[in-house]
Amino acid sequence: MDGWLAQHLARRRDGVKHPVHDFLFTYYSLRPAQLRRWHPGHGVVLRDGASDRDYLAVDGGVLLDPALLAKRTDSVRWIRDLLAATASRPAQLGCFGMHEWAMVYRQTQDQVRHNSWPLRLSPAATAEVVQDRGVRCTHFDAFRFFTAPARPLNVHQPTRELQPVLEQPGCLHANMDLYKWAYKLSPLVPSELVTACFALSREIRELDMRASPYDLADLGFPPVRIETPEGRAEYAAAQRSFADRAAPLRAALLTACDRLLAASPPTP
């Protein structure tokens, strides 16, 4: 972890942008220093620890302030319900990563988000792939970055309110977001769970961008050419593997939420 974070911090210090890995610190809001800070989780006495705004001194060490859980019970419940709804559905493996293509649909090279990196196909050919393949994105936080002409092409029209209805466990971004839900539960959950979700999110992000319309081969990310049958098969196999690996992390987060809610003070 420290080695990987050191690379990110060195790039940031030197003003070097990374189209794959920066996402983990720009889209997601947890700072590297926060990721490195270890927490044992709710109800665990940390021997010889120092009290601070989140920790109270008790016999033998420090303990997370019970007021923290009371203050965040509603958030824990919302996260728990979203995770449970997502886990209850079968994984959909037919999107083939077209969300990244919809984000550049009908844009010029200068207009795309990562315009320092070339598109693998011309803008016209990229648009043709989107039109021919269609878009089946269920994830609101990907959909909201679609270009305006791409949005009507999506089979679904996700909103924040529909997120618990549409979120499904085959989605790369839903599985990357396990990291977000883990750190939003921190320090109430053990840091080991947060870092495990971060590690998976980092791997998924690489597939996400390898299947994108950008040419990132010079960065060491060979393309998954989803515009071809072979590329779509490669993507779907990797997507299924990530869904399988995400399932126990989602289950662990659900268990943590249930324990936190059981320990929460009753609502008046």
Domain that includes residue 192, residue range: 68-263
Token pair listed for 35: 């990721």
Whether residue 50 is contained in a domain is answered as: no
pLDDT in tens, 145-191: 999 999 999 999 999 999 999 999 999 999 999 999 999 999 999 99
Q: Is the pLDDT of residue 112 over 70?
A: yes
Residue 39 lies in a domain: no
Q: Is the pLDDT of residue 3 over 90?
A: no
Identity at 245, one-letter amino acid code: R
What pLDDT is recorded for position 265?
Answer: 77
The answer as to whether 43 is a domain residue is no
> Domain for residue 198, yes or no?
yes
Q: 64-87 pLDDT, tens per residue?
A: 999 999 999 999 999 999 999 999
pLDDT at 51 (0 to 100): 79
- pLDDT tens sequence across 14-54: 999 999 999 999 999 999 999 999 999 999 998 877 778 88
55 in any annotated domain: no
Residue 141, CA distances (Å) to 24, 152, 178 in order? 14, 16, 13
Q: Does residue 17 sit within a domain?
A: no
What span, in angstroms and rounded, lies between the C-alpha atoms of 238 and 260? Answer: 33
Q: What is the pLDDT of residues 215-230, one digit of tens each?
A: 999 999 999 999 999 9
- Does residue 61 belong to any structural domain of this protein? no
Q: Is residue 239 part of a domain?
A: yes
Count how many domains the chain has. 1
